[in-house]
Structure 1
């Protein structure tokens, strides 16, 4: 486990502590040296696999609020299980296409924030119903050739396999670009979509605010 001082870390909201565990290792970002010292001493008591467990953290730290945890999943070209034929047509749009704004309005603030469609750098892969975009997926190019997948489906269109359909198109595009697709999911439904595409859960991420 590594604890580092990073006031502008992208792993958590400003002023919070970010935690990522992956493959038996963990990195923890703290907003200041004093917070890092507190974190380092407290987490030394925990095994690495417990560092992203909110209940375990509350035992050793004065935790005020928690975001997550979210599962981090990855898929290789050999493990990828793309969506089959016969589904609704998937349309490819340029990144940041204005038709996505209406979909964001239909979704909850939390879902739209998690999807972060404005951060997608790949093309947007969408499904329409009566001309309106009701599902979209794409990815943001991260360092290390990682493709961070974003998926968003309109509330009234969920349960129809559209997240799997658009997600499959985004993953296929990422693999063709020789990138490693990463799927971050907090809710069980999103984790099931990732698993159906062949993703394996290898880590987790959460953010904590220290009281």
Structure 2
């Protein structure tokens, strides 16, 4: 690992330690995962278990102390690089629902590969009617997955030449530790045409100019390809699971 990679990884670990909501640090690479009780964890939905693996080191948040104890028993034999594999987690822990895994990728000024500006990417407000109509047309699943309705940056968009409908849009939401969480959405019928890369490039450039670290969290292979084309480097992964609490081991009770 280069010195630059090491600095990036250190910054990203600091981000996820902060997002966990409790005082915790990633353990040394190759050590058992850090498993902590964090009811307000930002690694996962409320009452879920959040797992983030970065550079052979993992952090796990549990909604309460009883689940944390269960996790320490169940995950003790699971290698860090397998903690974000749903099948592996299911093999040692009763799980009711899973979100992910998603890759975590980041880009710096030195690694960013921008798309040449052709002058047709517009800047809109997130509450612009065109953005609202675009999200509605995409449907609730794609709109929610993109996170575009929650951006705090301008929304960078491409339109059709003959009318107002949007073809693609991107922006970012400011996260802790001066991080910009990228949100990108392309109209379903226009995917695979390079539009996502163009609007995302504009959003990334805006974030870097503001001194932020762009973050790309993705599950679909197509989204990961867009990120790699822009110079993002995958440094880890994230998984959220909702444990099947009815199957807790005998003798495990709530408490601290």
Segments ≥4 residues shifted beyond 4 Å? none
Distance 1:7 1:107 in 2: 33
Q: What do residues 145-193 of structure 1 show as CA deviations (whole Å, max 9, x unaligned)?
A: 1110000111112122110000000000111111111000110000000
Give the structure 1 partner of residue 111 of structure 2.
79
Q: 2:65 aligns with which of 26, 33, 48?
A: 33
Matched, 1:153 2:161: no
Higher relative contact order (CA closer than 8 Å, sequence separation 6+): 1
The structure whose Rg is larger is 2
Distance 1:92 1:141 in 2: 17
Distance 1:185 1:108 in 2: 19
Unaligned runs of 5+ in 2: 1-32, 245-256
Q: What do residues 177-211 of structure 1 show as CA deviations (whole Å, max 9, x unaligned)?
A: 11111000110000000000011111111111111
Q: 2:125 aligns with which of 77, 94, 103?
A: 94
Q: What do residues 130-157 of structure 1 show as CA deviations (whole Å, max 9, x unaligned)?
A: 2112211011111111110000111112
Higher strand proportion: 1
Q: With structure 1 as the length reference, what TM-score do the two structures score?
A: 0.94
Give the structure 1 partner of residue 155 of structure 2.
124
Distance 2:178 2:129 in 1: 27
Q: What do residues 95-130 of structure 1 show as CA deviations (whole Å, max 9, x unaligned)?
A: 432321111112232221121222211111011112
Matched, 1:62 2:85: no
Give the structure 2 partner of residue 168 of structure 1.
201
Q: Which of 92-101 and 38-47 deviates more?
A: 92-101
- 8 Å contact from structure 2 (residues 130, 164) kept in 1: no
Give the structure 1 partner of residue 224 of structure 2.
191
- 8 Å contact from structure 1 (residues 71, 204) kept in 2: yes
RMSD: 1.4
Matched, 1:136 2:169: yes
Q: What is the CA distance between 1:85 and its match in structure 2?
A: 4.2
- 8 Å contact from structure 2 (residues 35, 61) kept in 1: yes
- 8 Å contact from structure 2 (residues 108, 213) kept in 1: yes
- 8 Å contact from structure 1 (residues 106, 155) kept in 2: no
Distance 1:98 1:5 in 2: 42
Q: What is the CA distance between 1:21 and its match in structure 2?
A: 1.2
